[in-house]
């Protein structure tokens, strides 16, 4: 016997309908007339399988239908563990803090750790991310020299390397960039100059720009965006501070939409499959601070992350983990709660929800319309056509 999958979507697209299953990422289009006929068949899987057996089996192979005793949540948990928690891609996050900033003296221990990672793990890709307090100030002294050393190690080992810098642009935070510091220029313009400098000279880096400080009107926003050249835009992934949209004024929401549509279409919310990071515990996600303390997930700026799970050994670059704590955290998946586990959209947003919930004050991104499911599905479908 059969039942309809819990994770089917039917999304309008250019006078057609996208059929999409988020658990298996199956997708194709049908005409409106075909859709009207097929949707009626979907209402009774047994009759569909008897009346049109060959057509039904095609949908079954695409997993739009499953066996009656299939536990789709168990299937999702399997895929989540395989593709995310125990994925071999290595993500190293290095965090700058006001108390201890990243410096040239910290390069050697991190290089040893990267080399040790390459030698001891079956790694095909390494993503190094730099984030935290005044992170652009560390570019010349720490970020770029470290990236060059890592690039040589990865080239010899045949490992792909990504470099990513998180920049927060906010009226509420003081940002002084030594690359371009002009006392008479607004803070966000100083930051833009620094970003342009990095991307223009070093296009191998990608910057994730968090914006919590929007110019006051549409003209100012246009000027803001024009300061990014077309080449620079391709290397910047814009994110905004979403807050709780129900509490945000209408004009603030319109600014968010403006930035979303104008700066970069390849946003993390839209194309989560090809982005880093997923800041939930993963076996190959390591967060290191200048004091050599090591964490497994989001940096400890958040209440739930008070104690380090490991420490970096400077001599050999090996991390001494609290293995019991590490195993415990890997087994505690973020979505194992009633609201999330019963959500139809869980497979669709599995890579996006943890980060959005964290930034938005632990509110549900779906309920608060921080992400649009139809946009996500259309973008993924179009990406397969390219």
In whole angstroms, how large is the CA radius of gyration of the chain? 23
Residue 22's pLDDT is: 93
> What SS3 state is found at 206?
strand
Residue 242's pLDDT band (boundaries 50, 70, 90)?
very low
Residues 6+ apart with CB under 8 A from 252: 214
Q: Measuring CA to CA, which residue among 225, 162, 239 is closest to residue 196?
A: 225
State the Cα–Cα distance between residues 145 and 128, nearest whole angstrom. 13
Give the integer Cα–Cα distance in Å for 212 and 259.
11
**What mean pLDDT do residues 240-247 have?**
43
- Highest mean pLDDT among 39-53, 220-234, 286-300 belongs to 39-53
Give the model confidence (pLDDT) of 31-55 as tens digits.
Answer: 999 999 999 999 999 999 999 999 9
DSSP 3-state of 112: helix
Write out the E strands in 215-364. 236-240, 285-288, 293-295, 310-312, 319-321
Q: Are 169 and 211 in contact (CB under 8 A)?
A: yes
3-state SS assignment for residue 281: coil
| Top-ranked range on mean pLDDT: pick from 74-83, 229-238, 337-346 | 74-83
The pLDDT score that the predictor gives to residue 356 is: 61
Phi-psi region of 243 (alpha: psi -120 to 50; beta: other; left: phi over 0): left
pTM, whole model, 2 decimals?
0.77
* pLDDT tens string 350-365: 877 766 655 555 567 7
Average pLDDT, the chain: 78
Q: Which domains are assigned to the chain?
A: 1-69 (no CATH), 82-325 (3.20.20)
pLDDT at 159 over 90: yes
**Percent of the chain residues topping a pLDDT of 90:** 40
| Cα separations in angstroms, 40 against 1, 57, 322 | 18, 16, 55
């Amino acid at each position: 016997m059969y039942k309809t999958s819990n994770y089917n979507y039917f999304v309008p697209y250019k006078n057609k309908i996208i059929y999409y299953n988020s658990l298996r990422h199956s997708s194709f289009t049908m005409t409106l007339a075909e859709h009207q006929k097929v949707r009626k068949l979907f209402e009774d899987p047994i009759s569909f399988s008897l009346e049109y057996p060959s057509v039904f089996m095609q949908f079954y192979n695409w997993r739009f239908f499953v066996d009656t005793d299939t536990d789709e949540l168990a299937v999702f948990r399997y895929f989540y563990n395989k593709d995310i928690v125990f994925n071999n891609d290595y993500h190293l996050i290095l965090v700058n803090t006001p108390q201890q900033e990243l410096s040239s003296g910290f390069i050697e221990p991190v290089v040893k750790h990267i080399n040790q990672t390459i030698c001891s793990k079956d790694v095909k890709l390494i993503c190094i991310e730099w984030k935290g307090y005044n992170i652009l100030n560390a570019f010349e002294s720490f970020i770029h020299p470290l990236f060059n050393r890592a690039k040589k190690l990865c080239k010899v080992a045949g490992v792909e390397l990504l470099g990513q810098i998180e920049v927060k642009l906010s009226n509420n935070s003081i940002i002084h960039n030594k690359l371009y510091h002009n006392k008479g220029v607004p803070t966000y313009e100083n930051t833009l100059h620094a970003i342009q400098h990095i991307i223009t000279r070093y296009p191998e880096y990608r910057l994730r720009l968090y914006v919590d400080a929007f110019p006051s009107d549409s003209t100012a926003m246009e000027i803001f965006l024009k300061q990014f050249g077309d080449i620079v835009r391709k290397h910047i992934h814009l994110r905004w501070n979403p807050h709780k949209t129900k509490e945000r004024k209408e004009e603030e929401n319109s600014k968010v939409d403006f930035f979303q549509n104008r700066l970069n279409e390849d946003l993390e919310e839209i194309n989560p499959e090809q982005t880093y990071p997923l800041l939930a515990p993963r076996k190959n996600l390591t967060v290191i601070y200048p004091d050599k303390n090591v964490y497994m997930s989001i940096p400890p700026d958040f209440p739930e992350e008070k104690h380090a799970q490991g420490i970096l050994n400077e001599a050999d670059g090996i991390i001494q983990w609290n293995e019991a704590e590490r195993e415990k955290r890997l087994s505690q998946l973020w979505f194992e709660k009633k609201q999330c586990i019963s959500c139809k959209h869980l497979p669709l947003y599995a890579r996006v929800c943890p980060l959005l919930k964290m930034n938005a004050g632990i509110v549900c991104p779906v309920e608060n319309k921080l992400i649009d499911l139809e946009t996500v599905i259309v973008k993924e479908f179009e990406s397969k056509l390219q």
